[in-house]
């Protein structure tokens, strides 16, 4: 049985943002041949935005590129990106937007670490001050 080769593109415009590490994002895109042809002579920018803050940084990209790594992002935030045309008057015209992707914290916050007694049970307060109780199988044994 002979397997058919994978297509070089799927004739579908898509832009996907993924978290790789708490400080690195990976973005890939697939633009249809007609979209690539329309953008061939344009100045393309990949813009990274922080949700509810706006554009964080911009990168020059070439029409034939299809992926990009973005390093040095801040952990614990939500990001999205777009591919835009940059005109001579410094105006940006987005042509496609990505999904939103969250970067995790690099390590647990100090407020979220709760001590416990020997059995792992007890009453604690969350970082927002809300009390909660922890139970374990040790709770069922008499000490």
What is the per-residue pLDDT across 62-121, written as a single tens digit (0 to 9) for each?
A: 888 999 999 999 999 999 999 999 998 989 999 999 999 999 998 766 544 444 444 444
Question: From 3.40.50.2000, 3.40.1190.10, 2.60.40.10, 3.90.1010.10, which CATH number describes the 14-102 domain?
Answer: 2.60.40.10
Residue from 63, 106, 68 nearest 85 by CA: 63
- In tens, the pLDDT along 29-77 reads 999 888 988 888 899 999 999 999 999 999 999 888 999 999 999 999 9
Domains of the chain: which residue ranges? Answer: 14-102, 110-140
The residue written with tokens 């579908």 in the block is 12
């Amino acid at each position: 049985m002979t397997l058919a080769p994978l297509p070089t593109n799927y004739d579908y415009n898509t832009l996907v943002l993924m978290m790789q590490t708490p400080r690195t994002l990976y973005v890939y895109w697939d633009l249809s041949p007609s979209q690539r042809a329309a953008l061939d002579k344009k100045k393309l920018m990949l813009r990274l935005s922080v949700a509810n803050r706006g554009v964080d940084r911009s990168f020059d990209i070439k029409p034939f590129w299809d992926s990009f790594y973005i390093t040095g992002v801040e952990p614990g935030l939500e990001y999205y990106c777009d591919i835009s045309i940059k005109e001579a008057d410094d105006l940006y015209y987005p042509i496609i937007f990505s999904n939103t992707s969250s970067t995790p914290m690099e390590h647990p916050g100090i407020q979220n670490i709760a001590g416990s007694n020997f059995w792992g049970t007890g009453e604690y307060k969350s970082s927002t001050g809300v009390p909660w109780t922890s139970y374990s199988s040790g709770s069922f044994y008499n000490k």
